[in-house]
Amino acid sequence: MDFRTIAAVLLGFSILSACGGQGDNPLGRENPTEEPDDGEDGEEDPVVPVDDPEDPLVNEGSTDDFYSIEDVDKITLDSDDDGNPILVVEGLTLDGGGAETVYVRRTDLDQSGFLAFAIQDDPLDRYVRGYIDADNNGGTVTAGVAVSGAQFNRYFRGATVTRTDDYDPPAATDATGLVTYTGNYVGVLNIEGTDSELLPVIDAADEIIPGTVVLTTTGKVFLNADFADLAINGSVYDREAVEIGLSLPSYALILGRIDDEGNFGGTMEFSNDQTVDAYEALDQTEGGVGQYAGIIGGEDGAAIAGALTIDSIDGGDDILGFTNEEEIGVFTLEKCGTDGANAARCAEVNPDFSAD
């Protein structure tokens, strides 16, 4: 898809802005647990989540085996009395009336192993979409995300990552210390999707009240981890906004550190290898376009679950016309050489690689 095709596709979609407090940027995201500060220009700055100094993506109160991001306390997969899968979300603002909100299964929105769920309590409440997945090597790590469409100038989002076993890293030897993880990514982008997802409004006078629907994004994740140097880096690539068939930029996950409990995190930049020519113009040196974090689990470090946030899709020059775009997503990965790993993606890395 070339630049002109991309631009044409975007003409029919509205971006849900991330800036708060001003009429020309009406739709933004807030963390309701924090108070806004006044900027130097006297305008109200967007509200931001609490930062952990050692891992700026995760919220305070996170542990070695569990962390949450932004406006979510917990996301878990459960089942109802009939054995049907449900998503239980705790903490996301205005998604339901109880401490725990149950989202219903949406098989039509499933993506690359991630199970999809959604909720809208009534036609004049927010629409929310959620995803969850566990790894294919025993399901010891899980990642979930939930994001609302915008209503009354704000939208809400969050993610959680969980590990159920103790950290068991690979031995730091020549044969086992440098390993590769591959898997899939799903995210939610604050661009308005189709209104057909919303419950119908009966009274025409109320048509201005309903919120909007979000867009789902997908991609692949590749990580190399060095358990001697306790270092990790990689890429999220082959990305797409599913409902509109729009290819999205790839990102480099810049060098991060693995701690003693198998947690890691770092920053993101636009990749210098893009599949769409128009994205080659993106500034790879531009900082602050995103952050990532993850947890290593399973026997011998067999799996990873993680999350990321993206604060720029089309760069400082807004080559696609985006302004204030934001994305949040999660990924589950398997270590190459394990039964659950994707054989095709692991064919060119050890222990499966052969030069013959």
**What does the pLDDT look like over 170-179, one tens digit per residue?**
999 888 899 9
Is the pLDDT at 336 greater than 90? The verdict is yes
Residue-level pLDDT at 285 = 72
Distances in Å between the Cα of 314 and the Cα atoms of 3, 206, 291, 317, 321 are 12, 35, 16, 7, 8
Whether residue 50 is predicted with pLDDT greater than 80 in this model: the reply is: no
- 56 — pLDDT class (breaks 50, 70, 90): low
| 3-346 topology per CATH | Porin (2.40.160)
Would you say 182 and 332 are in contact if contact means Cβ atoms under 8 Å apart?
no
Separation of CA 339 from chain center? 26
The distance in angstroms from the start CA to the end CA of the chain is 36
Averaged pLDDT, 326-335:
96
The domain locations on the chain are: 3-346
Higher pLDDT, 209 or 35: 209
pLDDT in tens, 212-261: 889 999 999 999 999 999 999 999 999 999 998 989 999 999 999 999 99
Is the pTM higher than 0.85? The answer reads: no
CA distance 321 to 46: 21
pLDDT of residue 316: 75
| pLDDT one-digit tens code per residue, 84-109 | 999 999 999 999 988 999 999 999 99
Distance CA 283, CA 297 (A): 34
Q: What percent of the chain has pLDDT over 70?
A: 81
- Backbone phi, then psi, for 241, in 5-degree steps? -85, 110
Q: What is the pLDDT of residue 47?
A: 30
Residue 327 has a pLDDT of 94
Q: Which of 17-26, 263-272, 313-322 tops mean pLDDT?
A: 263-272
Residue with the bigger pLDDT between 244 and 204: it is: 244
Place of tokens 């999220």: 236
3-state helix, strand and coil shares in percent for the chain, rounded to the nearest 5: 10, 40, 50
**How far apart are alpha carbons 279 and 3 in whole angstroms?**
9
What Å distances lie between residue 66 and 150, 183, 187, 323, CA to CA?
A: 28, 20, 19, 32
| Tens-digit pLDDT profile for residues 112-148 | 999 999 999 988 899 999 999 999 999 999 999 999 9
**CB neighbourhood size of 239 (10 A):** 23
